[in-house]
Amino acid sequence: MLEASVVSDQPVSGHVFRMDRRRGPQWYVKYRLPDGRQQQKRLGPAWTGRGRPPAGYLTKRTAEAALREILSAAREGRLPGQHRSGVTFADACEDFLRWVEYDRRRKRSTLNDYRSAVRAHFLPAFGALPLEDVTVDVIDRWRAGVVAEARLSPRSINKLLTILHGIFERARRVHPLAGNPVAEVEKQPRKRRVSIDVYSSEEVLALVRSAASEQDGAIYLTAAFTGLRMGELLALRWRDVDFELSAVQVRASYTHRQLDTPKNRTGRTVPMIDAVATALAQLEQRPYFTRPDDLVFASAVGSHLDDSALRRRYKRARGAAGLRPLRFHDLRHTFGTHAIRTVDPRELQEWMGHADFATTQIYLSYKPRAEAAERLARAFDTLPVLERNSSSAA
């Protein structure tokens, strides 16, 4: 351990250590400031080979040299975050939420997710602590506790860590923090989905037949054969349904009882197959709520449907049809896996409203490869044809 004598409550001290991470071995430094606070940061990837390390890689000697520079800066009071900001973590959360709403103009659904995470998870754990006291160790202990209690899935924990990272990034710009402690916290390992369970066309029709009402049946059919998200279905108006061009315009989304733009902030056009057009045309024959600005899927008074109640009715219809317990959202996956069989992946990306093509790629394994063997055979067409002779088998 390296130490530097300073005129303070406690001596400045620290050490370097190596940890194996998913991205390879890394050198870390952990040190104590004069006021007793402990800090930890990643220095960089560890060089484990022979000879001179590539640029950016550290040996133990260069890692210790970096530590000496940090301790020297701490002794002279030059480290960012060495002087307390006087701000609590709760103050930082309040500033972050105000910033993302008014400066970054995040979507209403995103803001609700942020507020829920702050209220339910972060404030109970860190709210009263000074901002500088929410260190890597503190966050790691909180994460370990959440994992031990098995209250949240790995995906949910990683989502919380992403939000927490954003809170500290904002605080780092506003206050002289030494760094973002969340950057040094390992995320939870997630099992990669190897397959998607979806309904067949026949199962979708069975679900429609078991629906509590004609409107519910039309919702299930439209979800499965257009890929619209639930919020987009609930925001759909008759002016968005183009029977002449066989298309549905996605212009809005209704989530958390708020009308907003679709998830990727842009509208899109989705082809409408005959089955969907027929179901919607029949629904349009009702004696009310059929004007252009009326909702296609409306409550008894013409307002937006309650998504929670719709999910409950969906589960009852699913049970009545004797179907596997797939989520309502899996109707969207049903569309993706069936559509990819005959359409170009980039076209599917546009129809499903994926901002990133990587999201669309999960459906590629469902694309038929019937012609693959034929194309591969052409690649080897210069090879001599081998005669099949069962008698020569070894």
Residue 291 CA: distances (Å) to CA of 146, 254, 283, 286, 339 = 50, 19, 12, 11, 31
Say how far apart CA 260 and CA 256 lie, in whole Å.
Answer: 10
Residue 206 CA: distances (Å) to CA of 317, 324, 337 = 9, 12, 19
* Contact yes or no for 166/96 (Cβ under 8 A): yes
Tokens of 121: 């998870």
* Contact yes or no for 85/176 (Cβ under 8 A): yes
CA 70 to chain centre: 36
Say how far apart CA 35 and CA 57 lie, in whole Å.
Answer: 31
How many H-runs (helices) and E-runs (strands) does the chain carry?
Answer: 15, 9
| Least confident interval from 40-44, 227-231, 268-272 | 40-44
CA 153 to chain centre: 13
Residue 44 CA: distances (Å) to CA of 25, 55, 162, 179, 221 = 9, 11, 21, 15, 52
CA 68 to chain centre: 39
Q: To which residue do tokens 């080897």 refer?
A: 380
260 bridge partner residues: 253
| Least confident interval from 185-189, 191-195, 261-265, 381-385 | 381-385
Q: To which residue do tokens 């088998």 refer?
A: 393
Choice between 225 and 78, residue whose per-residue pLDDT is larger:
225
Q: To which residue do tokens 């027929």 refer?
A: 278
Q: Residue range 135-156: average pLDDT? A: 89
Kindly tell me if the per-residue pLDDT of 82 is higher than 90. no
Kindly tell me if the per-residue pLDDT of 2 is higher than 70. no
Q: Closest by alpha carbon to 330, among 302, 311, 307? A: 311
Q: Taking the domain 201-366, which CATH number applies? A: 1.10.443.10
Q: To which residue do tokens 């972060």 refer?
A: 122
CA 214 to chain centre: 34
18 bridge partner residues: 27
Mean pLDDT of the chain: 88
Say how many C-beta atoms besides its own lie within 10 A of residue 313's C-beta: 17
Kindly tell me if the per-residue pLDDT of 376 is higher than 90. no
Per-residue pLDDT at 152 = 86
Say how far apart CA 33 and CA 79 lie, in whole Å.
Answer: 9
Residues of the chain with pLDDT > 70, as a percent, come to 89
20 bridge partner residues: 25
Kindly tell me if the per-residue pLDDT of 394 is higher than 60. no
Per-residue pLDDT at 50 = 86
Domain-wise residue ranges, the chain: 2-75, 89-184, 201-366
For helices 201-209 and 214-226, what crossing angle results, to 10°? 160
Say how many C-beta atoms besides its own lie within 10 A of residue 129's C-beta: 14
| Least confident interval from 6-20, 111-125, 206-220, 307-321 | 6-20
Kindly tell me if the per-residue pLDDT of 221 is higher than 80. yes
Per-residue pLDDT at 269 = 96
Residue type, position 144, single letter: A
Indicate the fold that domain 89-184 takes in CATH: DNA polymerase; domain 1 (1.10.150)
Residue type, position 122, single letter: F
Model confidence pLDDT, tens digit, residues 147-188? 888 778 898 999 999 999 999 999 988 887 778 999 888 888
Q: Residue range 83-104: average pLDDT? A: 90
Per-residue pLDDT at 4 = 38
Tokens of 274: 């005959």
Kindly tell me if the per-residue pLDDT of 229 is higher than 70. yes
Q: Model-level pTM greater than 0.75?
A: no
pLDDT band of residue 203 (cuts 50, 70, 90) is: very high
